A = this chain, B = another copy of it.
């Protein structure tokens, strides 16, 4: 670890809830629907006989105390930070701090979410029980009794919850509670803080702190076993009215805590099993950390809703809190399909039901090859930025919105919270990319689930998708190149963008864009596969033709003079981008080996992309000085989730194994550069500057596939570098 002083989500599944902690002096605590970490005071440690509190350095003021102690001074309060010798071990299912004889662990077990339509509701309810468990253990090597203490400064009046069945509980508001499994000496408390409780030894219900204490006699070992519970009743969204799915089974925090206490051992056991699974992987320590950290922030952003009895799956977009942002769905897909493909189907269906639309297309002006670097939210400035389209009203087709709303509000049908017309940069439409995303997700779902009934019922949607994709290349078949070249009428003269909205023009513009071209190729491969499964041979053929056309165009763009394919196929752009290879992840995950075969129908494409990757993945192009991957040679802005996909593709398709120092750098970006925000996606030169508290980095889960190194791949030895395989690639 580069540092242990950083926040992490610790979340149940689908509760949009977290017990976030880890950043020194920043507190942390429990949130529901929190788009940033809580700032409750956290006191986790023990109390000496004289009232001195020795606590992990999470509590408010701990940073100052640590610095005072380092300077030989003392704490102004009775709290003293346990800083010396403190270690943290974040693994698959547990996050553990150890110092001297104190061990604090937070358990976040993950299990696949059973499809309620198949396995029934009970199994699902068991999986989504909205609790996080923890243990706090002390071996008292001293000569006097100590009190283990776990306390939260909730910032709201606290009280005792009546809990039967072997646990005590405290809470605040209606939504939050903490239980501790009963044992001799255990005492729940409510007071202004742990020191007032210790002095008075009785509750004060005006106090806004609560927790537990447990005496530990000299020489003894004792452990607090904690259940942190979340429960919000009633409708929590607008636009679509929905409530938490867990509330069907557990309408109150008391019932949540009781269930959590009863399952404490099983939950801890599963978390420890996850630790072992991750430790047993072939990944180095940095990648194991990235996998574990990312998985936590993913679940912290998940929300399983009850929409009139039916499940509605939502992943929120971190600090932005957009609902089911489609260009996140398509990346988090791999993680979900390995566990619970039905949640992907659920999102796809809602996109069809409510968030699809049909547009026309515009052919940009001849001078549209001039790249626009201007970013403005003012559509009135559009004319000053780009020329009006040469042609409008061309046949378009079906696509989908960027997202389904934001912060609990489901936007009206056919609209997102993000997209605006009249722009050429951030906040413009992603019409073409979201069309590809639906196809890519649908193919992934069908491959992972084998749900051919669903596929058959979606035949009309797939027909519309194919036609729409072909039209976005060009409605006139003779002009088609396999690569999207038009803009949606929703842009009203503006230009479509990609998910890399705030990077730079190399990945910003959707038309004639290398990243999009390969993604389009993959989408056509997907369509071809789906039509094949449906038995619609003509459409299978159409899709294949389009894919070949795309491959040909991409290959033709390879520029021998620079040694790689420029990011944008117009305007003289020469940016070098890693995400040229991103979309190879789809055929890889679909096990369409033929598509990646160097003797197969796309051999030339694969070979060219391999050359591209080897050429761009060098210092000064797409590597930062610290070894971290740089998505575009012309921007310091990187998205970690995308790097993880590309590293997986590089390894699995091209046998290009990222150098260890890249993983070390990426871990540093999180542990140091993003310390206040748990997992962050958008990093500029090592610091989180956006997309914080974010779910998408769960793409790192791709690494957990058994690595199948290509023949001839050697471990890279030079820091900052990568080593291309000596000739042969994956078959």
Contact = CB atoms under 8 A, between A and B. Distances in A.
Given A202-B420, A205-B411, A205-B417, 16 more contacts: A156-B407, A157-B321, A157-B406, A159-B238, A159-B411, A173-B238, A173-B408, A174-B238, A174-B408, A200-B377, A200-B380, A205-B409, A205-B416, A206-B418, A233-B235, A234-B234
A204 interface: yes
Q: Tell me how many chains of this kind the complex includes.
A: 2
Closest 10 CB pairs of A and B: A157-B407, A234-B234, A205-B417, A157-B406, A199-B378, A159-B409, A206-B417, A157-B409, A205-B411, A156-B407
A406 B200 contact: no
A434 B380 CA distance: 67
Given A205-B417, A406-B206, A379 B200 contact: yes
B379 A202 contact: yes
Judged by DSSP, the binding face of A is loop
Nearest to A234: B234
Contacts of A157: 321, 405-409, 417
A380 B427 CA distance: 63
A558 B379 CA distance: 81
Contacts of A411: 159, 205
Contacts of A450: none
Interface in A314-331: 320-322
Nearest to A320: B206
A159 B206 CA distance: 37
A260 B367 CA distance: 54
Interface in A602-647: none
Q: Which of A173, A200, A415, A421 has the most CB of B within 10 A?
A: A200
Q: Which of A202, A204, A407, A408 has the most CB of B within 10 A?
A: A407
Contacts of A116: none
A469 B27 CA distance: 49
Interface string A139-154: 0000000000000000
Interface string A209-250: 000000000000000000000000111111100000000000
Interface residues of A, number: 40
Interface in A404-436: 405-409, 411, 415-418, 420-421, 427
A421 B203 CA distance: 11
A597 interface: no
A544 interface: no
A235 B233 CA distance: 9
A364 to B, nearest CB: 22
Contacts of A408: 157, 173-174
B407 A239 contact: no
Q: Which of A159, A237, A320, A405 has the most CB of B within 10 A?
A: A159
A191 to B, nearest CB: 9
B407 A236 contact: no
Contacts of A322: 206
Contacts of A321: 157
Nearest to A254: B238
Contact of A199 (B156, B380, B416): B380
A272 interface: no
Given A157-B321, A238-B174, A205 B406 contact: yes
Contact of A204 (B196, B199, B320, B377): B377
Contacts of A199: 377-378, 380
Contacts of A159: 238-239, 409, 411
Nearest to A158: B409
Interface string A149-178: 000000011010000000000000110000
Contacts of A380: 199-200
Interface string A38-66: 00000000000000000000000000000
Contacts of A405: 157, 205
Interface string A179-212: 0000000000000100010011010111000000
Contacts of A204: 377, 417, 420, 427
Given A199-B377, A321-B157, A427-B204, A174 B236 contact: yes
A234 B236 contact: no
A608 to B, nearest CB: 39
A27 B255 CA distance: 40
Contacts of A234: 233-234
